[in-house]
């Protein structure tokens, strides 16, 4: 299951490509009849680093970074009381959706992914919000029209209700264009020692058998912005190259793999090399494809690569891991054409988690 946990970061960094942008994202999940798992979870992240966690078991908003623990009030929008209210509205919304679709027992999951990003150089601001139910894309916030857009016919009733709620629309306009951006700036300033650090990667060339694809695996780097490419005789290769997602390690760093389909005869007659570039680090990290550089897991465990499978969606919730709320939302989002999970809405323009007004379904 750890593979699924790591899988989510491919989407967590949608707005953090190779560049100098920062993002803040909140992942909220409400579920019914999922054993050994909280009925409600929220995970807040800045630049892919978890900053806060709340669940229905503890009923506490817990800061996860030193800069938040040492500086009270930096949680911005994650006060325990507000998240408790949000928990109640989430659970109520699940019941409303179950009733609307004539669903009774079984596992049902409501998810929000929402947040914002800011490019330091261009000062371009972006906001985003997604709502998903039972692994299906439901609603998406349209920053151009400042309204909610239905992503499937079954969600039209929610689109109509949400867009007819003036206070909800006012909240999202203010939150995504102002509140979220200001909170993001605050987090980046206070957490700059963590968020602005750079850590170089460890690069390995891996191959299971002589006929397998050759994997260039970069791990242990920070920040998450990375390019892992294959070159042949100095020219970047695109054909027969498979790029993996950028995934998290347990220590807060990241990993990424890119695989090359090439015969041993071909790479012995040509110069193939893997080039790794990490945001904020000027040096390129290069591994030349030679027989002595290739590591194999025949008879021994491979280096720290987590296998990724693609078929499970909602039932990932059975894994009791703090970041799982992010995983579940993103795995579903990823699997269903970047579909999603969702943002929370509210009537209170002063707090992103003003629970009573968030989900007037």
> Where are the alpha helices (H) located in 152-277, listed in sequence order?
156-163, 166-174, 180-190, 192-195, 264-269
CA-CA distance, 320 to 36, in Å (whole number)? 7
d(CA 296, CA 298): 6
Cβ atoms < 10 Å from Cβ of 75: 21
Angle, vertex CA 357, rays to CA 356 and CA 361, nearest 5: 105
What pLDDT is attached to residue 170? 92
User: Does CATH number 3.40.50.2000 belong to domain 2-194+311-358?
Assistant: no
What pLDDT is stored for residue 73 in this prediction?
60
Query: Concatenated DSSP letters for 166-189?
Result: HHHHHHHHHIIIIIHHHHHHHHHH
Block means of pLDDT (10 residues each) for the chain, 361 residues, are 35 42 90 85 88 87 81 60 76 84 85 89 87 90 94 92 91 90 89 89 93 94 93 93 91 92 90 94 95 75 38 29 41 41 34 39 45
Residue 64 has what pLDDT? Answer: 84
Query: From the centroid of its chain, how far is CA 110?
Result: 16
Q: Where are the domains of the chain?
A: 2-194+311-358, 202-295
Q: Return phi, psi of residue 72, to 5°.
A: -55, 145
Burial class of 273 by CB neighbour count within 10 A (0 to 12, 13 to 18, 19+): buried
Residue 259's nearest CA partner among 278, 276, 274 is: 274
- pTM reported for the whole predicted model: 0.68
Other beta carbons within 10 Å of 101: 11
**Predicted pLDDT of residue 77:** 55
Cross-strand pairs, 202: 219
Bridge partners of residue 54, in order along the sequence: 42
Instruction: Give the C-alpha distances (Å, rounded to integers) separating 317 from 33, 138, 329.
Output: 11, 19, 10
Quick one: 202-295 is in which CATH superfamily? Answer: Immunoglobulins (2.60.40.10)
Take residue 122 and report the two structure tokens written for it: 């261009």
């Amino acid at each position: 299951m750890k593979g699924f946990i790591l899988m989510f970061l491919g989407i967590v960094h949608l707005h953090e490509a190779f560049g100098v942008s920062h993002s803040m994202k909140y992942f909220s999940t409400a579920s019914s009849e999922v054993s050994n798992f909280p009925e409600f979870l929220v995970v807040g992240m800045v630049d892919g680093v978890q900053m806060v966690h709340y669940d229905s078991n503890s009923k506490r908003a817990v800061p996860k970074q030193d800069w938040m623990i040492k500086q009270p009030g930096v949680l911005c929008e994650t006060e325990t009381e507000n998240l408790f209210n949000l928990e109640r509205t989430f659970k109520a919304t699940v019941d409303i959706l179950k009733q609307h679709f004539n669903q009774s027992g079984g596992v049902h999951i409501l998810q929000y992914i929402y947040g914002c990003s800011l490019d330091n150089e261009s000062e371009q601001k972006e906001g985003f919000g997604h709502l998903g139910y039972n692994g299906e894309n439901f609603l998406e916030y349209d920053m151009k029209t400042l309204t909610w857009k239905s992503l499937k016919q079954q969600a039209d009733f929610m689109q109509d209700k949400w867009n007819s709620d003036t206070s909800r629309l006012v909240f999202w306009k203010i939150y995504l264009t102002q509140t979220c951006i200001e909170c993001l700036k605050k987090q980046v300033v206070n957490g700059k020692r963590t968020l602005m650090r750079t850590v170089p990667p460890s690069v390995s060339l891996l191959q299971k058998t002589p006929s397998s694809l050759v994997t260039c695996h970069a791990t242990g780097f920070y920040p998450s912005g990375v390019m892992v490419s294959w070159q042949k005789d100095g020219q970047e290769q695109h054909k027969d190259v498979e790029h993996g997602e950028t995934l998290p390690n347990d220590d807060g760093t990241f990993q990424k793999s890119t695989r090359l389909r090439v015969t041993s005869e071909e790479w012995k007659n040509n110069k193939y090399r893997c080039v790794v570039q990490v945001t904020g680090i000027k040096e390129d990290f290069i591994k030349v494809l030679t027989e002595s550089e290739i590591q194999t897991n025949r008879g021994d465990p491979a280096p720290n690569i987590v296998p990724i499978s693609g078929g499970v969606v909602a039932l990932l919730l059975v894994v009791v891991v703090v970041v799982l709320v992010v995983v579940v939302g993103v795995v579903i989002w990823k699997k269903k054409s970047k579909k999603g999970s969702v943002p929370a809405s509210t009537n209170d323009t002063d707090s992103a988690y003003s629970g009573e007004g968030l989900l007037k379904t």
